[in-house]
């Protein structure tokens, strides 16, 4: 490189005889300085910069030394192309191990302390340079590595476009469409293993369909409501009947045990909303206002407010103590079948047979949002204990939603039945009960169905009466109680013999990428 530049300078000198000798000498110096700066730019990482005086003393180098400079420049160009994105590189680029130098004494100059550091020694063997240059990965090898890691990348880097342009047109289309996509497998939670569940006990006592259930806060007893117009209180540990409450003149459709009062609230198809004193086992209040059958009841977790909804398409808000109506939440065009309440907004959520879910603003008494994703009536809803989410069930599928705006999360498809009941415990086990007597167990986070059961109708009942009408976990989440159309109450518990080896997660399970909102 130096020889060729000198030839250019000499040629220009011969062609410019009219130029002043001093100016010509300055031009030569500037050209030489430019050559020195060019060489230094390639030797930036080697800490071997040339000085202008050094160049002038060795300006007449041999052709062998010039070839050696070319090889160095070629090496630096390859390394710069290969590791341009690396922030920090070792100062030794030839691969030779630096010699270990003894600790040098610290020298003091002008009040400052600076340790003396020897520059690393670099072998400049020509054969070693050839081996190192040839060992650098070629562009095609680097492309194959990137293509191999393409499937595991979260986001495809834009540099893949460079390689795609060099490929055939057939391969370019398949790669280009993925440049802006996330790896979908990372967007889904992997299924968590849960033990299998098995039938524990069958309790009989009702003479009609068992349509409602509620569990005591202290986990000592639970109560059920039936189409035989009675409410029965059962011992949770033994399953023995403790007391029977009578007062309704039609089928009981909903029960709610207060967490802060010794009260039980019941609603039925006789248009009545009753309050029971469980200390004396008698009716103490009657809330009048519904003109048709009442199907759902819920209580506010922190306020003395009761919510009821039914066939009159109205969600009514009551003051528990004064029995005064606070709001009449109107907007549904069919019967209100399910209600859930929470302390944060929206404080009341209603599901209806008009295929919609409404999120209500309790402060103003108006509908804050309407969810129209379901294609069939919403018969059951359940909220998560810790997350700010809830699930709804219809005959199409189970859908998960996020509060407070009611954003759609995902579908849980596969339970091909009219779903009447949902239950969720603290271990993120979601259970759905169908009208055909099937019970499906789901992992809440991933939506994986890890078990399917089918109830058996009790002796004396028709096969068509093997339907799940209501269900609930106990307060510990270790026992599942189902209310069925064969007039029985069944207990389920976790199977002690279930292990991940015996009941593994299905190896062929894959998250559904066709997660439609409707």
- Evaluate if residue 268 carries a pLDDT over 60: yes
pLDDT digits (tens, 9 = 90+) for 79-91: 776 766 554 544 5
Tens of pLDDT, residue by residue over 185-207, are: 445 678 899 999 999 999 999 99
Tell me what pLDDT residue 109 has.
47
Pick from 474, 463, 505: nearest CA to 193: 505
Q: What is the pLDDT of residue 271?
A: 96
Read off the pLDDT of residues 328-374 as tens digits, 9 standing for 90 and up: 999 999 999 999 999 999 999 999 999 999 999 999 999 999 999 99
Q: How far is CA 401 from CA 185, 322, 374, in A?
A: 21, 34, 12
Distances (CA, A) of 170 to 159, 164, 175, 179: 19, 10, 10, 16
pLDDT score of 91: 52
The DSSP 8-state label assigned to residue 129 in this structure reads H
Domain extents in the chain:
1-101+116-136, 147-187, 197-494
User: What confidence tens digit (pLDDT) does each residue in 415-464 have?
Assistant: 989 999 999 999 999 999 999 999 999 999 999 999 999 998 888 777 66
The b-or-e profile of 152-183 (16+ CB within 10 A means b, else e) is eeeebeeebeebbeeeeeeeeeebeeeeeeee
Residue 10 reports pLDDT greater than 70: no
For 3, 228, 293, the CA distances from 257, given in Å and listed in that order, are 98, 20, 20
pLDDT-above-90 percentage for the chain: 55
Mean pLDDT of 305-330: 96
On the question of pLDDT at 114 being above 70, the answer is: no
- 95, pLDDT greater than 50: no
Residue 284 binned pLDDT confidence (cut-offs 50, 70, 90):
very high
pLDDT category of residue 481 using cuts at 50, 70 and 90: very high
Query: Given pLDDT bands bounded at 50, 70 and 90, which one contains residue 21?
Result: confident
**Which pLDDT does position 183 carry in this prediction?**
47
CA distance 404 to 314: 22
The CB-side HSE value for 288 (13 A sphere, CA atoms) comes to: 0
Q: With pLDDT > 70 as the criterion, what percentage of the chain qualifies?
A: 68
Q: Give CA 74 to chain center in angstroms.
A: 49
The alpha-carbon radius of gyration of the chain (Å, integer) is 40
pLDDT at 75: 77
Provide the pLDDT for residue 163: 40
> Which is more confident, 135 or 465?
465
Segment 244-261 shows an average pLDDT of 95
Of residues 307 and 72, the one with the higher pLDDT is 307
Q: Does residue 138 surpass a pLDDT of 70?
A: no
Whether 357 and 351 have beta carbons less than 8 Å apart is answered as: yes
Residue 146's pLDDT band (cuts 50, 70, 90): very low
Q: Which residue has the higher pLDDT, 168 or 456?
A: 456
pLDDT, greater one: 245 or 147: 245
More confident residue, 201 or 63: 201
Q: How far is CA 141 from CA 146, 162, 178, 189, 248, in A?
A: 9, 14, 21, 34, 80
What number is the average pLDDT over the span 100-120? 48
Position 180 pLDDT exceeds 60: no
Q: Please say whether the beta carbons of 93 and 46 come within 8 A.
A: yes
Averaged pLDDT, 68-97 = 62
The answer on pLDDT for 58 being more than 80 is no
Average pLDDT over residues 309-332: 95
What dihedral do alpha carbons 151, 153, 156, 161 form, nearest 10°?
Answer: -50
Protein fold of 197-494? Methylamine Dehydrogenase; Chain H (2.130.10)
Q: pLDDT tens across 216-234, in order?
A: 999 999 999 999 999 999 9
């Amino acid at each position: 490189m130096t020889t060729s530049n000198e030839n250019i300078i000499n040629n220009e000198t011969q062609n410019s005889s009219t130029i002043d000798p001093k100016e010509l000498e300055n031009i030569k110096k500037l050209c030489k300085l430019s050559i020195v700066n060019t060489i230094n730019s390639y030797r930036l990482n080697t800490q071997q910069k040339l000085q202008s005086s050094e160049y002038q003393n060795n300006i007449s180098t041999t052709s062998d030394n010039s070839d050696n400079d070319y090889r160095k420049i070629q090496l630096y160009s390859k390394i710069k192309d290969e590791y341009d994105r690396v922030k920090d590189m070792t100062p030794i680029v030839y691969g030779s191990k630096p010699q270990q130098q003894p600790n040098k004494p610290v020298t003091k100059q002008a009040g400052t302390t600076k340790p003396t550091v020897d520059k690393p020694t670099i072998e400049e063997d020509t054969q070693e340079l050839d081996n190192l240059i040839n060992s650098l990965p070629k562009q095609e090898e680097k492309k194959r590595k990137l293509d191999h890691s393409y499937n595991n990348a979260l986001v495809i880097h834009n540099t893949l476009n460079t390689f795609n342009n060099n490929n055939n047109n057939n391969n370019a289309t398949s790669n280009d469409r993925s440049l802006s996509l996330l790896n979908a497998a990372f967007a889904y939670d992997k299924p968590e293993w849960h033990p299998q569940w098995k039938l524990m006990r069958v309790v009989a006592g009702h003479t009609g369909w068992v349509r409602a259930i509620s569990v005591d806060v202290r986990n000592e007893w639970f109560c059920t409501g039936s189409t035989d117009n009675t409410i029965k209180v059962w011992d949770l540990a033994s399953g023995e009947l403790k007391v029977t409450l009578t007062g309704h003149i039609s089928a009981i459709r909903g029960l709610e045990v207060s967490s802060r009062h010794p009260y039980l609230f019941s609603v039925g198809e006789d248009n009545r909303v009753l309050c029971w004193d469980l200390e004396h086992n008698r009716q103490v209040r009657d809330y009048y206002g519904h003109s048709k059958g009442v199907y759902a009841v819920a209580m506010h977790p922190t306020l003395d407010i009761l919510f009821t909804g039914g066939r009159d398409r109205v969600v009514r808000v009551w003051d528990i103590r004064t029995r005064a109506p606070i709001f009449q939440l109107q907007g549904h065009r069919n019967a209100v079948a399910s209600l859930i309440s929470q302390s944060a907004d929206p404080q009341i959520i209603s599901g209806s047979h008009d295929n919609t879910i409404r999120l209500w603003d309790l402060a103003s008494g108006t509908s804050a949002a309407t969810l129209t994703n379901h294609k069939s009536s919403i018969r059951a809803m359940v909220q998560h204990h810790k997350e700010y989410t809830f699930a709804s069930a219809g005959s199409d599928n189970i859908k998960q939603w996020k509060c407070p705006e009611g954003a759609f999360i995902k579908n849980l498809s596969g339970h091909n039945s009219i779903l009447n009941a949902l239950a969720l415990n603290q271990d993120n086990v979601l259970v759905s009960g169908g009208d055909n007597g099937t019970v499906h167990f789901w992992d809440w986070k991933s939506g994986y169905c890890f078990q399917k059961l089918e109830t058996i109708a009790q002796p004396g009942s028709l096969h068509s009466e093997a339907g799940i009408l209501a269900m609930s976990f106990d307060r510990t989440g270790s026992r599942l109680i189902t209310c069925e159309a064969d007039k029985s109450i069944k207990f389920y518990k976790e199977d002690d013999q279930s292990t991940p080896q015996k009941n593994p997660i299905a190896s062929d399970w894959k998250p559904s990428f066709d997660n439609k909102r409707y």
